[in-house]
Amino acid sequence: MAGTVTRDPLPAAGGGRQGAPLIVTEDAGLLDDLLRLCAAAGATPEVHHGVPEPRAGWEAAPLVLVGDDAARRVRGAPRRRGVVLVGRDQDDPGVWRRAVEIGADHVLMLPDGEQWLVDRIADVAEGVGRPALTVGVIGGRGGAGASTLACALAVTSAREGLRTLLVDADPLGGGLDVVLGGETAEGLRWPAFAASRGRVGGGALEESLPELHALRVLSWDRGDCVAVPPQAVRAVLAAARRGGGAVVVDLPRRVDDGVAEVLAQLDLGLLVVPAELRAVAAAGRVASAVGMVLRDLRVAVRGPYAPGLDDREVARLLGLPLAGDVPVEPALQRPHGAGQPPGVSGRGPLARFCKEFWERALVEARAA
């Protein structure tokens, strides 16, 4: 059980504290549980029996976990935010009075509130800032060039200095690590995360993935596993987003439970549509399915253009905002892996398209 104490908010000391969580308790059993939860969240706490001396330690800790046994001993401590009163007795009505006396934000009872507390501690350990701008790329039909554009966007983002993750959400696409020339690179692929539940550490996720062209890549291997449970997809993508920067997701054209989890976490989607009528008709069906989950879907039109069509007409036919015209570069017509990955040189019309896209998207994200 976790509850919130309603009180007037107090300013955070120092405008955003950094450091280890602080545990205040003399209850050995409770301390063991709190240390176990901190370890699960990837944090190493400081432990005291009362308010630490000097009291700056109390004020500077990003999160304070006060055992119910220690509530009386911290009653005179300076009021601050981020204090959680932790106990075990679900039926003790006095716990709320003690929480108010010490200025706690939350009252938490173990074991029911363990997952909530692990998430809160992990937020402290990783730092909580603006989540990554998360962009999904999906083809309006087969062979539309969605994977090429997804890779080019990710490579461009990394080249511009953003922390970047490229996520391959299409298990039947052959693997984006191949597109980037890193199929033999060391690191985990999707099947390793199939058993993930609850929260995945953002830093641990990033460090476990292959690093290619200054970005991290979560791709599929060439094994038999072609599905990851939706809850694992949700946990992994949430971890990817917590680190900030940019996350680019290459999406399949079908919408199953796992893809729906991805769509729910996207900030915007790009529907790549070749400029010919049959592709527009196919893209309309994809847009209808994706639009049931994703609110901000835009069309990126790829030439050459059929007679009577231009990028604005394609967008009008689909009823979607126009993200722009995706240039076709002759070098990209070679099979994936036969040359440089898309956008890696930083030159050419595709690289310019990607750079301009990020400039606009980041401005929109900051204004939101």
Given a contact cutoff of 8 angstroms between Cβ atoms, the answer to whether 308 and 273 are in contact is: no
Tokens encoding 119? 């998430």
pLDDT at 197: 73
CA dihedral 344, 238, 177, 192 (to 10 degrees): 160
CA nearest neighbour of 82 among 98, 100, 101, 59: 59
CA nearest neighbour of 265 among 230, 299, 289, 298: 230
CA dihedral 51, 53, 59, 63 (to 10 degrees): -50
Alpha helices in the chain (DSSP H): 28-40, 56-60, 94-102, 114-126, 146-159, 176-179, 202-208, 230-242, 257-265, 277-290, 311-318, 349-367
State the 10-residue block means of pLDDT for the chain, 368 residues long.
46 44 96 93 91 89 96 94 93 93 95 89 78 96 93 96 96 90 93 84 89 96 87 92 94 94 96 96 96 95 92 97 87 53 85 95 89
In order, the DSSP letters of 270-285 are: EEEEESSHHHHHHHHH
pLDDT tens digits, one per residue of 20-52: 899 999 999 999 999 999 988 878 999 999 999
The 8-class DSSP code of residue 308 comes to T
Given a contact cutoff of 8 angstroms between Cβ atoms, the answer to whether 188 and 208 are in contact is: yes
Burial per residue of 279-309, b for 16 or more beta-carbon CB atoms within 10 angstroms, e otherwise = bbebbbebbebbbebbeebbbbbbeebbeeb
Query: What is the 3 state secondary structure string of 336-361?
Result: CCCCCCCCCCCCCHHHHHHHHHHHHH
As a whole number of angstroms, the distance between CA 57 and CA 277 comes to: 66
As a whole number of angstroms, the distance between CA 70 and CA 93 comes to: 17
pLDDT at 61: 93
The total of other beta-carbon atoms located within 10 Å of residue 238's CB is 16
Q: How many Cα neighbours within 13 Å face the side chain of 229?
A: 10
The total of other beta-carbon atoms located within 10 Å of residue 129's CB is 10
Task: Walk across the sheet containing 133-139 and list its strands.
Answer: 211-212, 215-218, 164-168, 246-251, 133-139, 268-274, 297-302, 322-326
Strand partners for 4: 106
User: Residues for the chain: how many in total?
Assistant: 368
pLDDT at 333: 53
Q: Which long-range contacts (CB under 8 A, 24 or more apart) does 195-198 make?
A: 195/232, 196/231, 196/232, 196/235, 196/236, 197/231, 197/232, 197/235, 198/115, 198/118, 198/235
pLDDT at 36: 94
Strand partners for 211: 216
CA nearest neighbour of 240 among 270, 268, 210, 203: 203
Placement of tokens 């609850």 in the chain: 198
As a whole number of angstroms, the distance between CA 165 and CA 182 comes to: 15
CA dihedral 87, 90, 93, 99 (to 10 degrees): 30
pLDDT tens digits, one per residue of 103-114: 999 999 999 999
- Please give the radius of gyration of the chain, using alpha carbons only, rounded to the nearest integer: 25
pLDDT at 319: 97
The 8-class DSSP code of residue 330 comes to G
